[in-house]
Amino acid sequence: MRSSADQPLLKAVLWDMDGTIVDTEPYWIEAEHELVAAHGGRWSHEQAMQLVGQSLVFSAGVLQKAGVSLEIREIIDTLTAQVISRVRQNVPWRPGARELLDELFSAGVRCALVTMSEAPLAREIVASLPRPYFEFLVTGDTVTKGKPDPEAYLKAVELLRQDDLELTVDHCVALEDSAPGVAAALASGAMTVAIPHIVPLPADPRRATWDSLENRGVTDLQGLVALRHGLAKAASTLESVN
């Protein structure tokens, strides 16, 4: 057994799904527009942008205020069913996501999915991948508080710790595209990388920002975790990964 000093600094990557692995946000927005219109209301682009990255319970409450006369559970089920239907026709992968997943898998870096989508959609996306990249799926229906609360990320770390008691949040990198997701990841204590997609994100020195996952690899993530652990030799890495 290796000593603690020999343990790798990067042990796990915590992945958001919608907007990070797959570009499903247009599917969600389309479903919101159709649902509000079916109930005689109007749904603007600005309103849709406010729901990006939010929990489905929160989003359903906003849709009720926009005139959708259904219960929270009915709204969630209706939206999810439409997005699943679209995903079955076409999975809109984000650039570089599958390649990075594959490299992490080959390198033995563990991965967990941390999404506010519910399990049926998450399983649909995971089933479309060629290999079992994710050890755990933490979905919106398995937590009591959605993003921006850190509960989902903290739960993922605890699940990963079951097989490695030396793993801490300091060994993890979270990949996120939205403001609520980034806030949740930062609040959990994980090293956080923002990959803005639908909604621009303000600069924040507490996280790294990448334009895309394309051409990003294990070495980039290892450099970020090395910075977290205060290794002097990593001082030049931050510039190269931002």
The domain that contains 128 carries what CATH number? Answer: 3.40.50.1000
> Do 184 and 155 share a domain, yes or no?
yes
- Domains held by the chain: number: 2
- List, for residues 187-217, the tens digit of each pLDDT value: 999 999 999 998 889 889 999 999 999 999 9
Domain span at residue 150 reads: 4-23+93-241
**What φ, ψ does residue 53 adopt, rounded to 5°?**
85, -5
Q: Are residues 236 and 140 in the same domain?
A: yes
Q: What is the DSSP string of 4-52?
A: GGGS-S--EEEE--BTTTB--HHHHHHHHHHHHHHTT----HHHHHHTT
Shared-domain flag, residues 83 and 107:
no
Long-range Cβ pairs for the range 88-95 (8 Å, 24+): 88/124, 91/22, 91/125, 91/128, 92/22, 92/23, 92/24, 92/26, 92/27, 93/21, 93/22, 93/23, 94/19, 94/20, 94/21, 94/22, 94/23, 94/195, 94/197, 94/212, 94/213, 95/212, 95/213, 95/214
Question: Residue 237 above 50 pLDDT?
Answer: no
H-only helix segments in 66-177: 72-89, 97-107, 119-127, 151-161
Give bridge partners of residue 18 from the DSSP assignment: 22
Backbone angles phi, psi at 194, to 5 degrees: -95, 130
| 16 & 131 share domain | yes
Residue that wins the pLDDT comparison between 163 and 7: 163
**What pTM, to 2 d.p., does this model score?**
0.86
Report residue 205: phi and psi, to 5°. Answer: -70, -10
pLDDT at residue 236 is higher than 70: no
Q: 77: domain CATH number? A: 1.10.150
The residue from 56, 89, 122 where one domain ends is 89
Given this model, what pLDDT does residue 218 score? 97
Same domain (yes/no): 19, 37? no
Q: Please, which residues have CB within 8 angstroms of residue 33's CB and are 6 or more apart in sequence?
A: 43, 48
- The mean per-residue pLDDT over the stretch 95-113 comes to 98
Whether omega before 95 lies within 30 degrees of 0, making that bond cis, reads no
Residues 81 and 106 in one domain: no
Domain shared by 37 and 131, yes or no: no
Please give the pLDDT value at position 151.
98
Q: How many CB atoms lie within 10 A of CB 144?
A: 8
Same-domain status, 110 and 177: yes
| Rounded-to-integer distance, Cα 116 and Cα 139, Å | 5
The domain boundary, picked from 89, 116, 145, lies at 89
- In this structure, are 62 and 124 located in the same domain? no
Is the domain of 31 the same as that of 12?
no
Residues 40 and 134 in one domain: no
Main-chain dihedrals φ then ψ at residue 137, nearest 5 degrees: -115, 115
DSSP H or E segment with residue 240: helix 237-241
Q: What whole-number distance in Å separates Cα of residue 113 and Cα of residue 184?
A: 14
Confidence of residue 231 (pLDDT cuts 50, 70, 90): low
217 and 139 in a common domain? yes
> Which carries the bigger pLDDT value, residue 191 or residue 235?
191
End position of a domain, from candidates 69, 89, 109: 89
Q: Which residues pair with 114 in a beta bridge?
A: 138
